[in-house]
Amino acid sequence: MKLHQLCAVAFAVCLTASLAGAQDAPTFVFGTYYKCNVGSEDRADALYKETVGPLFQKQIDAGHLAASGWGRHWLGGEWRRLAYIAAPSLSALAEARQAVIGEMTEAQRKAGEEFNSVCPSHDDYIWTSVASSQAPEAVARDRAKVATSTYFVCDSHEAEADAIVRSAFAPVMNAHVKEGTIASWNWLRHVAGGKYRRLLVIDGTDHASLLEYWNTLDKNLADAQPELARRFSEICPSHTDYVWDLGTE
C-alpha cells in the first residue's frame, strides 16, 4: 500500500466511557500493520514522521481527527510497524483521508514511494471495542510509551468471550489501572480483516513492568474467576503477542 494511501485501510475501534467497560459513544480508528525490511525500518519511521505524520496532525488541529499514532515493533511476529488514525465517526475518517491524500506534495509522494520500498506489504483489520478502561475521547489519543497487543483466534462463541471480559476480567484490569500498574486496557472485536477475532491492548510505561504484568495476567484472571477463565480459553484457544513502542522516536 502506498504511504499516501495509508488512510484507505481502516480498522474501527468503538471505545467506552467507564472503567466498568460499559460501551458509550464510539471513536473510530483505522490503521495498517506493515511488514518491513528490518535493516531499513528506521528509515520508515523518519519518512512517516516527515510526510504523513504532519498531515495527520493538521487534521487533528482542525478538529477532523481525534488522534493519530505510530507503533514500532519491539517483540512479536512479522508486523514491524503500525499506523493508525482516530475520529468520532466513519465519515470524519473518510473526509480526513481525502484531505490528507489531496494535500500531499510531489516530494511527499516520492517519499511515500521510498517508504513502500522499505515496508512493501501490510495487513489490515477493522475492530470495534467491546470494553475499555478509557473514555472515548482518550482512546488512541492518550497513550503510554509501550503497548502489548494479544491477537486471539476464537470460535463461534466469541460473543460469550466478550461477556466474560466485560463481567469478569474488566474489574480485575480496572483495579490494576487504578493502582497504576498499567495505564489502560482495551478489548476489541473483529469487524473485518484476517484470522484474528479479538484483540487485547494494554498500555504501560516501560517494557519491564508491562512484560511482568503481562506474564502474571492470566494467573490473576484465573484466580479471580477460574471457571470463566477456563471457558474463555476454550473459546479463544490461541493467540499471537506483540509489544509496540509508540511514537517515531
- Residue 127: what pLDDT? 75
Q: 48 and 155: one domain?
A: no
Number of domains composing the chain: 2
Report how far residue 234's alpha carbon sits from residue 238's, in angstroms, rounded to the nearest whole number: 9
Dihedral sign of CA atoms 84, 87, 89, 90 in order? negative
- Residue 16: what pLDDT? 29
The answer on pLDDT for 1 being more than 50 is no
Q: 144 and 109: one domain?
A: no
Percent of the chain with pLDDT over 70: 90
Reference 211, options 173, 175, 248, 244; nearest CA is 244
Helix 170-179 / helix 207-224 crossing angle, nearest 10 deg: 140
Of 124, 143, 159, which marks where a domain is finished?
124
Average the pLDDT over 59-79 and give the result: 95
The pTM score is 0.84
pLDDT digits (tens, 9 = 90+) for 87-135: 887 788 788 888 998 998 899 889 989 999 999 999 887 777 888 999 8
- Residue 94: what pLDDT? 80
Reference 162, options 124, 125, 137, 131; nearest CA is 131
Of 90, 124, 158, which marks where a domain is finished?
124
Q: CATH number of the domain that 77 lies in? A: 3.30.70.100
pLDDT digits (tens, 9 = 90+) for 173-223: 999 999 999 999 999 888 778 999 999 999 999 999 999 999 999 999 999
Average the pLDDT over 136-147 and give the result: 87
Name the residue range of residue 148's domain: 133-246
Q: 164 and 198: one domain?
A: yes
Q: 107 and 41: one domain?
A: yes
Q: 80 and 21: one domain?
A: yes
Average the pLDDT over 139-155 and give the result: 92
Q: 10 and 101: one domain?
A: yes
- Residue 54: what pLDDT? 92
Of 67, 91, 124, which marks where a domain is finished?
124
